[in-house]
Chains A and B, each alone.
Chain A
Amino acid sequence: MASVRMDRVTKRFGRTTVLAEVSLDVRDGEFLVLLGPSGCGKTTLLRLVAGLEAADAGEIWVGDERVTTWPPHRRNIAMVFQHYALYPHLDAFENIAFPLRARGVARAEVVQRVRATAERLGLGEVLTRKPSQLSGGQRQRVAIARAIVREPQVFLMDEPLSNLDAQLRARLRTELSRLQRELGTTTIYVTHDQVEAMTMGDRIAVLRDGRLQQVGTPADLYQRPANTFVAGFLGAPAMNLVAAEYALRAGVPGLSLRGQGWLPLSRAYPTFSPEWPLTVGIRPEAVELASDRQAFAWGRVEAVEYSGFESVLVVTAQGSQAVQEWAVKVLGTAAVEVGDIVPLAVDPDHVHLFGGEHGVRLGTLAAPAEGLELALAVEGAQRPPVVAPSGPMPMQEVF
């Protein structure tokens, strides 16, 4: 077992930069999920760690060894592929045994280790079958067995469950998590499926266009997304992200949601320049339909997607400038029907505020995030976004 460290890793294919100075530490024994949309570079990063591709710049460390230029087999890393990559002419036993035999492990030990691994993955009955005679789930289990049988320092998994049907995927998800905890082997797991990322990862690293967006625990990412991309990527349905303008209402600082409502803003924030783009983010489950809180807007229920425990509503709020669609999650027992006019309310603690071109997280409406000054300084590098509170108050039409 070992930690994995990527230090300013850059990879280009021709003129396209696939990974731009990605630095990431994976702790010893950790289950780290690389999450991102397709084409974000997550698989390439995994292949760089495996040694299947060479980095154009940067260093990769496994434990105390700098492995950047090492060939794949020397790194003592095992990989599980999306399409299983089993050897089609060998039966399950020989597939699992292959890495041991290739390393010259003694016959008796091969048999013993393959059997033990197969038992662990529930493959005892199918060891004599060829891959073509196995179901998708069994194939992926054989591939996993082939990876763990040689007790590598690190597991790399490239979307191993995405070829399986939903039910099997859920089951293998649990099995894989359990297996990883039992073995305690450092694992880097690539997926574009946020449910997999949230349920399996000790930590999640979100990639977009070859750049690292945020690294943190699932709760970190969910509760404090570093920017609008992470906010919109995690959670289903996605967080409601609405453009907002800084606006005073009867002397109270707040945000006007482009004419569809107004939300008060903590006085701990500086006064924002009206040109500086702000985005408000509210998760569907944070929107309250029936509450004693004052509604920030009213909307019409356009659709009710009932799924048992909960329902997802699509609510449109007619503003002075545009129509805003809100996703709202309510309990399945809620009596809401299409056509109802409902009040939308929210706890300011649960409203995220993002600012600047890249939509960097500033905090919630109730309280600025720690390091707000830094975020503002970084975002405002080109254009000062903050107007000193002592200066003339920007007067805006409100609502």
Chain B
Amino acid sequence: MQVTVGMGPRSRPAGESGLGWVRGRLLWVYAVLAVPLAWVLAFVAWPSFSTLWQSLWALDAVGRPTGFAGLGNFRALFAQPLFSEVTLNTVTYAVAATGLSVAAALGLAVVLARVRRDQVGARGLLIALFSPTVMPAIAAANLWLYFLAPRIGVVDWLLRALGSGGENWLGQPGSALAVLVALFVWKYAPYFTLFLLAGMQAIPPNLRDALRLDDPRGFSAWRRVLLPLLAPMLLFVTVLALLYAVETVDPVYVMTQGGPNNATDLVMYYLYQLGFEFFAWGPAAALSALLMTVLSTLSGLSLIVLERKAFHW
């Protein structure tokens, strides 16, 4: 950011009128910032504000305000019988998906940290690992739909070879949610691995050498040194996973439509239902406002903690 550096009076060229020079520089700064600023205003700030605003108004079927509702939309939302079910689903899903994907990512990072780049197959392994991450969610969900189809799917085929099978994984409440969790882990764990791998590689090699000399079992090294040093990165990845998990909608839409028996109705899908199926725009706006507040608070807090706790080597 040479521009901001140039703002300092010291770098001002001699002979120019001070005020005019500063004004010229400022103009330039704003000109450069104008495009991203307009972007943020139009696509982040304005929608956020209007969502919060709309959540306080009674809205008709096409979303036009018909009168001030206060907290009426929120009351209506909480009164929906589906709401508590969706909340429970989402919490279960988010906790399981986050926990498992972060644990898997940590395991992968530990393994990958040992793989040398010039080792045979290292490149192939990386490509295989990260292909789910770069695959569009819709495509991944469709792929899994075929994998899991009873009788023709590869999962059923494998299970039959082992003597069981004939299971409709998406047809039962418990297993359907578990499939969504598995899909999340499959898709995102490699992505989170990248962050944790970077975190591990940021630990100075000498520190690892010291641990190898000091710790006979490697247990203390992990518990007392490596995990605490990775903690900021783990926190970051966990919050990221939580945000992604709460935002999950595509696989629900493609694979289960929230069923069976609403067992996979997650909050984002529910939000979509509220708006585009039930045309309950008021409660939809209330739910959006609620989600926005909770999630942004969560990520804000995590950023603060991250900045405080991070080690600057």
Chain A residues close to B by CB (< 8 Å):
47, 50-52, 71-74, 77-79, 81-83, 85, 87-90, 94, 98-99, 101-103, 146, 150
Best-buried of B206, B207, B215, B221 by chain A (most CB within 10 Å): B206
Known pairs A51-B213, A79-B213, A99-B214; list 8 more (Cβ under 8 Å). Answer: A73-B215, A78-B213, A87-B207, A87-B225, A90-B224, A90-B225, A98-B224, A102-B219
Give, as a whole number of angstroms, the nearest-CB distance from B20 to chain A: 45
Expressed in whole angstroms, the Cα–Cα distance for A150 and B214 within the complex equals 9
Chain B interface main SS type: helix
B212 CB to nearest A CB, Å: 5
Instruction: Work out how many contacts link A and B, with CB atoms closer than 8 A.
Output: 72
Q: Who on chain A is nearest to B228 by CB?
A: A89
Which of chain B's residues have a CB closer than 8 A to the CB of A85? 204, 206-207, 209-210
Over the window 199-241 of chain B, the binary record of Cβ atoms lying under 8 Å from chain A Cβ atoms (1 yes, 0 no) is 0000010110110111111011100110011000000000000
Question: Counting CB contacts under 8 A, is B311 at the interface?
Answer: yes
Taking CB atoms, residues of chain A closer than 8 Å to B217 are 102
Q: Which residues of A contact B229 (CB under 8 A)?
A: 87-89
Select one of A50, A89, A90 contacting B213, CB under 8 A: A50
Inter-chain CA distance A77–B206, complex, in Å, is 15
* A83/B204 in contact, CB under 8 A: yes
CB closest chain-B residue, reference A156 = B213
> Which interface residue of B214, B215, B219, B228 has the most chain A CB atoms within 10 A?
B214
Across the interface, A79 reaches (CB within 8 A) one of B209, B219, B220, B221, namely B209
Q: Which residues of A are found within 8 Å of B219, using beta-carbon distances?
A: 102
Residue in A closest to B206 when the chains form the complex, CB atoms: A85
Bound complex: CA A71 to CA B220 (Å): 16
Cα distance A71–B221 when bound, in Å? 15
Residues of chain B within 8 A (CB-CB) of A146 are: 210, 214
Q: Do residues B212 and A81 form an inter-chain contact, with CB atoms below 8 A?
A: no
7 closest Cβ pairs, A-B complex: A102-B220, A85-B206, A102-B215, A99-B214, A85-B210, A73-B216, A72-B212
Docked CA distance A79–B213 (Å): 8
Cα distance, A52 to B287, chains bound together (Å) = 56
- A74–B210 contact, CB under 8 A? no
- Determine the distance from Cα of A94 to Cα of B229 in the docked complex, in whole angstroms: 15
A72 and B225 CA atoms in complex are apart in Å by 18
Question: In the docked arrangement, what's the CA distance between A235 and B110, Å?
Answer: 48
Which B residues touch A82, using CB under 8 A? 206
Judge whether A81 and B221 touch: CB under 8 Å: no
- Chain B nearest CB: distance from A159 CB in Å? 11
Complex contact B210–A79 (CB within 8 A): yes
Q: How far is the CB of B146 from chain A (nearest CB, A)?
A: 46
Given contacts A87-B225, A98-B224, contact A81 B216 (CB under 8 A): no
Tell me how far the C-beta of A399 lies from the nearest C-beta in chain B, rounded to whole angstroms: 57
**A contact residues around B220 at 8 Å (CB):** 98, 101-102
Complex Cα distance A83/B210, Å? 11
Q: How far is the CA of A98 from the CA of B213 in the complex (A)?
A: 11
What is the minimal beta-carbon distance from A110 to any residue of chain B, in angstroms? 12
A47, B225: Cα distance in complex, Å: 22
Q: Determine the residue in chain A with the shortest Cβ distance to B309.
A: A89
Q: Which residue of B lies closest to A74 (CB)?
A: B216
Looking at A47, A83, A87, the one whose CB has the most chain B CB atoms below 10 A away is A87
When distances are taken between beta carbons in the complex, the residues of chain A under 8 Å from B214 are 73, 78, 98-99, 102, 146, 150
Tell me whether B206 and A81 are in contact (CB under 8 A). yes
Kindly list chain A residues whose C-beta atoms are within 8 Å of the C-beta of B212. 51-52, 71-73
Output the nearest chain B residue to A97 by Cβ-Cβ distance. Answer: B224
A73 contact set on B, CB distance < 8 A: 212-216
| Contact (A102, B206) CB under 8 Å given A88-B311, A89-B228, A90-B224 | no
Nearest CB of A to B210, in Å: 4
In this complex, the member of A74, A99, A101, A146 whose beta carbon has the largest number of chain B beta carbons within 10 angstroms is A99
**Distance of A185 from chain B, by nearest CB (Å):** 15
Closest chain A CB from B147 CB (angstroms): 42
Contacts of B216 in A (CB 8 A): 73-74, 102-103
Q: CA A77 – CA B209 in complex, angstroms? A: 12
Given A89-B229, A90-B225, A72 and B206 contact (CB-CB distance below 8 Å): no
Q: Smallest Cβ distance from B230 to chain A, in angstroms? A: 11
Within 8 A of A (CB), among B234-290: none
Collect the chain A residues with CB atoms within 8 Å of residue B210's CB.
Answer: 79, 81, 85, 87, 146
Q: Is the CB of B221 within 8 A of A102?
A: yes
Q: Which residues of B contact A103 (CB under 8 A)?
A: 216
Question: Which residues of A have CB within 8 Å of B209?
Answer: 47, 50, 52, 72, 79, 81, 85
- In the complex the two chains form, what is the Cα distance from A74 to B217 in whole Å? 10
